[in-house]
Amino acid sequence: GAGVSQSPSNKVTEKGKDVELRCDPISGHTALYWYRQSLGQGLEFLIYFQGNSAPDKSGLPSDRFSAERTGGSVSTLTIQRTQQEDSAVYLCASSPNMGGLGTEAFFGQGTRLTVV
């Protein structure tokens, strides 16, 4: 009965470097979300995967951000050429997304990214 697992828990990177953040959702959950949490900004939606449908990328802040979800399970969020404003906690969530039962999301502990 593992929950949503994110790795690494903390990442410090130099400005201009690329980073990859990993999310292992709850087994069987068809929906997967990435959010960014910055101080005073709440949870900013980044990208949403739902089953085999094309992902909703409307929240990605720039083309430096991308995400993949392989085999409908593990997801990787990639940030290229990191900038200091990318520093935040990146949260992943998954949901069984069973339509009429409500799309409750279960969150991981997040990855705290610091760009120096």
Partner 1 sequence: AQSVTQLGSHVSVSEGALVLLRCNYSSSVPPYLFWYVQYPNQGLQLLLKYTSAATLVKGINGFEAEFKKSETSFHLTKPSAHMSDAAEYFCAVSDYSGNTPLVFGKGTRLSVIA
Give me the amino acid identity at 55. P
Q: How far is the CB of 15 from partner 1 (least distance, A)?
A: 26
Among 3, 2, 1, which residue's Cα sits nearest to residue 105? 3
List b or e across 32-47, with b for residues whose CB sees 16 or more CB atoms inside 10 angstroms: bbbbbeeeeeeeeebb
List the structure tokens of 97. 């997304």
Which residues, other chains included, contact 81 with Cβ-Cβ below 8 Å and sequence gap of 6+? 16, 17, 18, 64
Pick one of 59, 64, 74, 76: the residue that binds partner 1 (CB under 8 A). Answer: 59
Tell me the window of 10-18, 20-28, 49-57, 60-68 that interacts with partner 1 (CB under 8 A).
49-57
Q: How far is the CB of 104 from partner 1 (least distance, A)?
A: 6
66 forms part of the interface with partner 1 (CB under 8 A):
no
Tell me the window of 13-21, 38-46, 62-70, 78-86 that interacts with partner 1 (CB under 8 A).
38-46
Q: Which residues form the interface with partner 1 (CB under 8 A)?
A: 31, 33, 35, 40-43, 45, 48, 50, 53, 56, 59, 91, 93, 95, 97-110
